[in-house]
Amino acid sequence: MPLLSDNPYLAASLALNLLNIVLLTVVFWRFRSYQKRQNELVQGEEIPDLAEIVLKHKKTLATHNKNLKELGKILEELVENNRLNIQRAGVVRFNPFAETGGNMSFAIALLDGKNNGIVISSLHGREGTRVYAKSVAGGKSQSRLTEEEEQAIRQANNL
C-alpha cells in the first residue's frame, strides 16, 4: 500500500470514513430498534403518530384525574352523611316481672355513627304492654336508664 503511506491525508480520510461507516451502522441499528418500539406503541391505535397518541392519552388521564377527584368528594360526602344513619343496634330481651313467664320484654338501642339515637323499651305484663323511648346523645341519656337499656347501648357499641 504505497499510495496510503505516501499520502497521510488519504490514510486519515480513509480511517475517518471507516469510523463513519461503523458509527452510521450503530445509529442505523438503534434507529431500527426505536422504530420497532414505536410501532409496538402505536399498534392498535387510530392515529399512527406517537406524539398525538401521547397527547390523547394525556387528555384522557387529565379527565380521569378530574373524575377521580369528584368521586373522592362524593365519597367524603357520603361517609359524612352516613354518620347520621342508624349504624348500630343492640337488643336485650328480659323478664321484668317474676310472676309472668318468658322474656317477652325488650330494650333496643338504635345509634348512629356519633353514638346518638334512641333506646326503646317494651315492658310486657299480664295487664298489657308499655313502650318507652329515651333519647341518647354521645352514648348517654339524660333520662335514667334501666340496666337492660344500658346493656342494649353497650351491645350496640360492641358491634
144's CB contacts (< 8 A; 6+ apart) are: none
| Count of structural domains, the chain | 3
Residues 98 and 124 in one domain: yes
Is 94 found in the same domain as 132? Answer: yes
**What local confidence, expressed as pLDDT, does residue 49 receive?**
77
Please tell me the pTM assigned to this model.
0.56
Distance (Å) of CA 41 to CA 31, 34, 38, 106: 15, 11, 5, 68
For residue 15, give its domain range.
1-43
**Do 20 and 66 share a domain, yes or no?**
no
- Inter-residue contact 109 to 153 (CB < 8 Å): yes
Phi/psi at 106 (5° precision): -155, 160
Task: Please provide the average confidence, as pLDDT, over all residues in the chain.
Answer: 88
pLDDT value for 129: 87
| Distance from C-alpha of 95 to C-alpha of 144, rounded to nearest angstrom | 19
Please give the Cα distance from 26 to 23 (Å, whole number). 5
Say if CB 149 and CB 119 are below 8 A apart: yes
Written as nine digits, the cell of 76 is 367524603
Helix (H, G, I), strand (E, B) or coil at 73: helix
Provide the phi-psi class of 34: left if phi over 0, else alpha when psi is between -120 and 50, else beta.
alpha
Claim to verify: residue 67 and residue 122 sit in the same structural domain = no
- 94 and 154 inside one domain: yes
Q: pLDDT tens, 4-58?
A: 567 778 878 888 999 999 999 999 999 999 888 888 877 777 777 778 878 888 9
Judgement on whether residues 149 and 97 belong to the same structural domain of the protein: yes
Average pLDDT in the 80-107 region? 85
Mean pLDDT (whole number) for 80-94: 89
